[in-house]
Chain A
Amino acid sequence: MNNYFKEIFKGVWEKNPTFVLGIGMCPTLAVSTSVSNAIWMGIATTFVLLCSNILISTIREYVPSHVRIPIFITIIASFVIIVELTLKAYQPSVYKALGIFIPLIVVNCIILGRAEEFASKNTILHSILDAIGMGLGFTLNLTVLSAIREILGANKLLGYQLIPGMKPALLMVLAPGAFFTLGLLLWGMNVIKARAALFKRTE
């Protein structure tokens, strides 16, 4: 049981996709303009990741290794089309807000990376847990980043106004704000890690 938990938690902290591994940057930065966008993007990506991990780990023994990448990417693209059509039908406003970043889930390095690195080598159960962990980590990153940007850039959180009468710093919801926020967050994480290492050594 403990082992399974570790598999999930790995994606959230130790091997966090965007902050530690540095993959899947484009959607993280581009979609994190508001918390609701971020959560929908997180759900969509997690769904695709989960389905592709399950399918790839099921067929992993039958895939010849030199054509595996085209096969993986075709599988991923099929699930992305499912997400695209579903969102278009049931959540048209979300579909409009996320725009081209829904088809671009195909080229999110996290999904192909997990397929190549994990699902093609491990059992179905482990692949499911890995996908849940990675998806959770990705969604969490997006939510944190988008919360900071939405509060500073639009003076709102989840669409509700926070401080009436205050003028927000519009720059934060534009592209530069995304770069600054992520840069400062990564800096903060490095500082925490350095402190923790120092603490361990002096102990």
Chain B
Amino acid sequence: MEIKILFTILISTIFINNYVLSRILGLCPYLGVSKKLDSAIGMGLAVIFVMTMASFFTFIIYKLLLLPYHVEYLRTIAFIIVIATLVQFVEMIIAKISPSLYQALGIFLPLITTNCAVLGVAVLNIDSGYITQQYGLLYSVTQGFGGGVGFTLALIIMAGIRERLELAFIPENLKGLPITFITAGLMAISFLGFSGMKLF
């Protein structure tokens, strides 16, 4: 029974409600880091990790701290502090393990803190009403992981396309952001094809 629900959550966050292309969250890194495939993969993995961990910790903090003391309205502050700490942690790990990736990601690594997809998944977990359910923690972690995978998928596809766009003939004024947005629009149309898909 639970496997079925987990699978539904996973597929719907990756494909049907893709965080970037359907919910329009996390555009800054999506546009900023998608110039090269290597850094896109690194960024994607970092975001998957941060989103999964953020879902886990924010859910626990909401359930054990904010709910019992009736201070639910503080969730925005509490969540952003948790996320900032996690990002700092990831930054330290990446700087230690792979300095070249650290260089390539540059300013966008600390900026995962202000990636709306991360705070978005934390808030969405609460808004989805998982808090009252028996396996709520599992569901929200799955949603966080799926969201990260969906983000990475969109980012990697975009990086692949943009690497080819470098060589293509594009009118001068369309170069840079405009053509990237139009490409993203076309990708969003193709992801729209998943909507209305019924799993079980």
Contact = CB atoms under 8 A, between A and B. Distances in A.
A190 B176 CA distance: 10
B199 interface: no
29 contacts: A25-B27, A25-B28, A25-B31, A26-B25, A26-B26, A29-B24, A30-B24, A69-B84, A73-B84, A77-B76, A81-B74, A81-B77, A100-B123, A106-B76, A107-B113, A109-B114, A112-B114, A175-B21, A175-B22, A175-B23, A175-B24, A179-B182, A180-B181, A180-B182, A183-B177, A183-B185, A184-B178, A186-B177, A187-B173
A103 B123 contact: yes
Contacts, number: 114
B177 A179 contact: no
Interface string B159-189: 0000000000000111001111110111011
A176 B189 contact: yes
Interface residues of A, number: 41
Given A81-B74, A191-B173, A107 B178 contact: no
Give the most central of B80, B114, B180: most A CB within 10 Å.
B114
Interface in B21-43: 21-28, 31
A77 B185 contact: no
B115 interface: yes
B185 A107 contact: no
A179 B80 contact: no
A161 interface: no
Interface string A175-195: 111111011101100110010
Interface of A: 22-23, 25-27, 29-30, 69-70, 73-74, 77-78, 80-81, 84-85, 99-100, 103-104, 106-107, 109, 112, 171, 174-180, 182-184, 186-187, 190-191, 194
A183 B28 contact: no
A190 B27 CA distance: 21
B76 A80 contact: yes
B181 A182 contact: yes
A8 to B, nearest CB: 25
Contact of A73 (B80, B181, B188): B80
Given A25-B27, A26-B116, A107-B116, A190 B173 contact: yes
Contacts of A187: 173-174, 178
10 closest pairs, A vs B, by CB? A183-B181, A179-B185, A190-B173, A30-B24, A176-B188, A25-B27, A183-B182, A187-B178, A180-B185, A77-B77
Contacts of B46: none
A179 B76 contact: no
A167 to B, nearest CB: 18
